Amino acid sequence: MTEKGPTPLERFINGILPENPVYRQVLGMCPTLAVTNGMKAAMTMAAAVAFVLVCANILTSLIRNLLKPHLRILVFTLTIATFVTVADRIIAAYMYDMSKQLGPYIPLIIVNCIIICRCEVCASKQNVLTAATDALGQSLGFALALASIASVREILGSGSWFGIEVMPAGWPDWVVMVLPPGAFLTLGLLLGAANWIGELAARRRTTQGVA
Amino acid sequence: MSEEQQNQTEVAPAPSLEVAPGPHLHTTKLSTRRMMADVLIALVPLVVAALAVFRMGAVMQIVVCTAAALVAEYLFTAMRGKPFSLGDGSAAVTGLILALSLPGTAPWYVGAIGSFSAIGLGKVVFGGLGQNVFNPAMVGRAFVMIAFPAAVGASAYVDTSSVVEAVTRATPLTALKQEGLPTSLADLFIGSTNGSLGETSALACLIGGLYLCIRRTASWEIPAGVIAAVAVIAGLINLTDMQAHWTVAHHILGGALLFGAFFIATDPVSSPLTPKGKWIFGAGVGALVMLLRKLSGYPEGVMFAVLIMNALVPLINRWTIPVPVGGPVPEPKS
Amino acid sequence: MKDNYLKQAWLVLLLALCFGGVLAGVEHSLKGRIDENKKADTLGQIPNLVPGAVSASFSNGVYRAVTQNGDHAGWVLLVTGQGFADKVELLLGLNADASQITGVYILDQKETPGLGNKIVEDEWRAQFAGKSTQQPLEIVKRKAEKDNEIEAVTGATISSETVKDMVNRAAADFRRQLASGGF
């Protein structure tokens, strides 16, 4: 298998912003919408996804030459499900309150399409180093996206950040922001802002290229 | 198309002509600006009634909402690089209707945030005036109602320390829903009850609304449909439950029904195009209002009823495409 | 044929075996901790619900709270009821002869955020502590004056009534059971 395409470092950087899983690929919408009403929950989710993604990518990359094409999805799912269950148990054992708050969303990482996408697109074709850096970059990108949405929602909706009061005492909580509609509104507006910034940057590049 | 014809069109492009079924009417009177001016004139009786009942609360809410709506319109059109559209008055109308749909006791930021979400989320994200699916003022109101339930919800209307007598009592619909208390028809008609700024006086709503209908700025089919549906459903309820505190007249004169029927549901952008569609739309709003009043946790349902029916407007338009003059278009022979 | 299937699926089978082993190991090493957490979730509230209690034993649907030196301190009941939006689940603490409410804790609720969900706040729940169970409690929309009155959460009369009804019903039922020697 030839190993052309982006170098491991490029893959790492790509995952963070240029190919951000949420803002560019629009993958993993379920946790993005469901657990971003507070920073604590969002960061726990991001950490769990990072753990599963890195482990699954490394393992898939290790066994990539043994994979039968028509059984590969089965193997990916099996691998992912195992690591998700491990993550779920660890959170239930050491962060019980968080586990209760996140409820079904930790087990639901199994169907998070970011992970199976990276297994399919990268890990099943690249060496371990590339797969690991790719997973780290994508995890970081996912964490950044969750952090941006959760910051907006928690600051407006609860007047706090990581549970610490940041707004002045008289701040009226925008209850709508911690409810599901707030997730859709925030994601939509931030997605629009991300596209707008991307477009501005692209325009600046082309005008510079001409001049 | 044969090759020869294709060559012809390339050589001499024909002038662009549009083909549409008759009648071909055009009037310069039907500009956005004129319609919005009509709405503002029609809202004058409501504003007067609101000032008479709620005094300073009404002044504050109207000033904050209208100013915030104009600022929001200016900012958002500037962001999109579009020509400024403040002159057509649509932002002022949105702000004023939003103000009249809020309680006078709501703090200033409720009106300001409501206006920004009305213009931003209700109108600009869809592409500006004429493109919005939902009534902008109601989008803004829904946003602040869910965001600040303590400041806009049913309990927010009552301020026992207020100098205005009406404000110290529960709104007629809340009194009915939670305590089973009726309100006199005369109070509902004149408007000496508690409620949102613009909704209390049925008389003011009727004067303004009839003006709009006579000027053809609002389609009379929509309020007629709303009132007919409410009358039928409230009548049926009365027939099955003779003990009901609210009669048909109560349901029509009470709450935001007339205000909603004449000023909110008739928004030309977010209501259907054909007369038949307007009847369906109006009846749907009326039926949903009664459903929400009777069975939901909220005392009043005009806002949600209008928003839900707004979402159905594209479908209603498709169902009620009028037959062109000269009968239906024949199926092309295959 | 059989040989062919095995050739194809040996990796899946092997992985399944390995993963199964790993999961069994994780479960074995963490199970104790997780069960402890679950138990502590309810039992951790007992000292707040029954003053002086440090632990409780569960039997016949109620927790029997005991003090450090094993004396019977009171009872904790798990009560569910229909709220404004969805089911409300709460723990009700009573003293040893069930004559007095010692505390209320809301375990689970989905009431309107900003209004009804204020029933979980300490300040509101604290009103219940010390109330007698001899007469049913009443919700009032002003400052509570009489002994059996609870001030409603502003704008959330229905949620407040729900909690009050649940407390009244559970306390009355339990007193009857206790009187008939049920415990």
Q: What percent of chain B has pLDDT above 90? A: 44
Contact A86/C37, CB-based, under 8 Å? no
Looking at residue A95, the DSSP 8-state letter turns out to be -
Question: Which residues of C fall within a CB distance of 8 Å from B159?
Answer: none
CATH code of the domain covering residue B149: 1.10.3430
| pLDDT at residue C137 is higher than 70 | yes
How far is residue B91's CA from residue B70's CA, in Å, rounded to a whole number?
6
* ipTM of the modeled complex: 0.79
How far is residue B191's CA from residue B166's CA, in Å, rounded to a whole number?
9
- pLDDT value for B23: 64
How far is residue C104's CA from residue B213's CA, in Å, rounded to a whole number?
58
Give the residue-averaged pLDDT of B11-25.
64
Contact B113/A176, CB-based, under 8 Å? no
Look-up: residue for tokens 């679950």?
A: C38
Domain count across chain A: 1
How far is residue B331's CA from residue B320's CA, in Å, rounded to a whole number?
19
pLDDT digits (tens, 9 = 90+) for B208-228: 999 999 988 889 999 999 999
Residue B232 sits in which domain range?
33-319
Give the residue-averaged pLDDT of C122-140.
85
Q: At B87, list the tokens.
A: 């002159």
Chain B residue at shortest CA distance from C85 = B297
| pLDDT at residue A48 is higher than 70 | yes
Contact A86/C26, CB-based, under 8 Å? yes
Contact A78/C12, CB-based, under 8 Å? yes
Question: Which residues of B fall within a CB distance of 8 Å from C121?
Answer: none
Helices B32-54, B90-100: crossing angle, 10 deg rounding: 30
Amino acid letter, A155: I
Domain count across chain C: 1
Contact A79/C19, CB-based, under 8 Å? yes
- pLDDT value for B8: 45
Residue A183 lies in a domain: no
User: What are the phi and psi torsion angles at A135 (to 5°)?
Assistant: -60, -40
Q: At B270, list the tokens.
A: 């977010």
Q: At A117, list the tokens.
A: 């996408």
| pLDDT at residue A3 is higher than 70 | no
Residue C91 sits in which domain range?
46-179
Higher pLDDT among residues C19 and B163, named by residue: C19
> Which DSSP string do the residues of B3-55 spell out, in sequence order?
HHHHHHHHHSPPPP----PSP----TT--HHHHHHHHHHHHHHHHHHHHHHHT
Return left, alpha or beta for A28; rule: phi > 0 is left, psi -120 to 50 is alpha, else beta.
Answer: left
Domain count across chain B: 1
Alpha-carbon separation of residue C21 from A20, A203, B282, C31, C173 (angstroms): 35, 55, 64, 15, 49
How far is residue B46's CA from residue C149's CA, in Å, rounded to a whole number?
42
Contact C30/A82, CB-based, under 8 Å? no
Q: Is the CA virtual torsion B281, B285, B290, B292 positive or negative? A: positive
Question: Which residues of A fall within a CB distance of 8 Å from B119?
Answer: none
pTM of the model: 0.80
Q: Return the residue in B148, B152, B304 with the most chain A beta carbons within 10 A, the one to mutate for interface testing.
A: B148
Question: Which residues of B fall within a CB distance of 8 Å from A176?
Answer: 143, 146-147
How far is residue B299's CA from residue B98's CA, in Å, rounded to a whole number?
19
Partner chains of B (3+ C-beta pairs under 8 Å): A, C
Residues 6+ apart with CB under 8 A from A154: A37, A38, A39, A160, A161, A162, A178
Question: Which residues of B fall within a CB distance of 8 Å from C84?
Answer: 297
Work out the pLDDT band at A47, boundaries 50, 70, 90: very high
Work out the pLDDT band at B9, boundaries 50, 70, 90: very low
Work out the pLDDT band at B280, boundaries 50, 70, 90: very high
| pLDDT at residue B3 is higher than 50 | no
Chain C residue at shortest CA distance from B160 = C142
pLDDT digits (tens, 9 = 90+) for C77-111: 888 888 887 788 888 888 888 888 888 888 877 77
How far is residue B204's CA from residue B191's CA, in Å, rounded to a whole number?
8
| SS3 assignment, position C58 | strand
Q: Cα-atom radius of gyration of chain B, to the nearest Å?
A: 22
Contact B147/A185, CB-based, under 8 Å? no
Looking at residue C117, the DSSP 8-state letter turns out to be G
Mean pLDDT computed over every residue of chain A: 88
How far is residue C48's CA from residue C40's CA, in Å, rounded to a whole number?
13
Alpha-carbon separation of residue B41 from B154, B214, B314, C45, C61 (angstroms): 29, 13, 30, 62, 67
Residue B68 lies in a domain: yes
Contact B155/C114, CB-based, under 8 Å? no
Q: Convert B84-153 into a string of H (helix), E (strand) and C (coil).
A: CCHHHCHHHHHHHHHHHCCCCCCCHHHHHHHHHHHHHCCCHHHCCCCCCCCCHHHHHHHHHHHHCHHHHC
Residue C69 lies in a domain: yes
Question: C113 in contact with B at a CB cutoff of 8 Å?
Answer: yes
Contact B297/C84, CB-based, under 8 Å? yes
Contact B151/A179, CB-based, under 8 Å? no
Partner chains of C (3+ C-beta pairs under 8 Å): A, B
pLDDT digits (tens, 9 = 90+) for B141-155: 999 988 888 888 777
Residue B326 lies in a domain: no
User: What are the phi and psi torsion angles at A28 (to 5°)?
Assistant: 65, 40
Nearest-CA distance from B309 to chain A in Å? 19
Closest CA to B85 of B114, B115, B119: B119
How far is residue B92's CA from residue B71's CA, in Å, rounded to a whole number?
10
Question: Which residues of C fall within a CB distance of 8 Å from B178?
Answer: 157
Contact C34/A93, CB-based, under 8 Å? yes
- pLDDT value for A44: 93
- pLDDT value for B300: 85
Look-up: residue for tokens 């939902």?
A: B134
Contact C34/A96, CB-based, under 8 Å? yes
Question: Which residues of C fall within a CB distance of 8 Å from B143?
Answer: none
Residue A35 lies in a domain: yes
Nearest-CA distance from B256 to chain A in Å? 23
Residue A141 sits in which domain range?
8-149
Nearest-CA distance from C115 to chain B in Å? 6
Question: Which residues of B fall within a CB distance of 8 Å from A179?
Answer: 146
Contact A82/C37, CB-based, under 8 Å? no
Alpha-carbon separation of residue C108 from A124, B78, C67, C92, C128 (angstroms): 44, 47, 27, 13, 18
Return the ∠ at Cα B183 (arms to B182 and B186), rounded to 5°: 145
User: What are the phi and psi torsion angles at A203 (to 5°)?
Assistant: -65, -40
How far is residue C43's CA from residue C57's CA, in Å, rounded to a whole number?
9
- pLDDT value for B24: 67
| pLDDT at residue B10 is higher than 70 | no
Is the preceding omega at residue B172 within 30 degrees of 0, hence cis? no
Give the residue-averaged pLDDT of B250-267.
90
Question: CB atoms < 10 A from the CB of A88, how many?
Answer: 21
Residue A138 lies in a domain: yes
C80 pairs with which residues across the strands?
A: C89
Closest CA to B288 of B241, B225, B195: B225
Chain A residue at shortest CA distance from B110 = A172
How far is residue A155's CA from residue A159's CA, in Å, rounded to a whole number?
4
Contact C115/B297, CB-based, under 8 Å? no
- pLDDT value for B7: 47
| pLDDT at residue B81 is higher than 60 | yes
Q: What percent of chain B has pLDDT above 70? A: 89
- pLDDT value for B15: 64
Question: Which residues of A fall within a CB distance of 8 Å from C15?
Answer: 63, 75, 78-79
Residue C4 lies in a domain: no
C81 pairs with which residues across the strands?
A: C88
* Residue A30: exposure state from Cβ atoms within 10 A (0-12, 13-18, ≥19): middle
Closest CA to B146 of A208, C113, C170: C113
Max CA separation in chain A (angstroms): 62
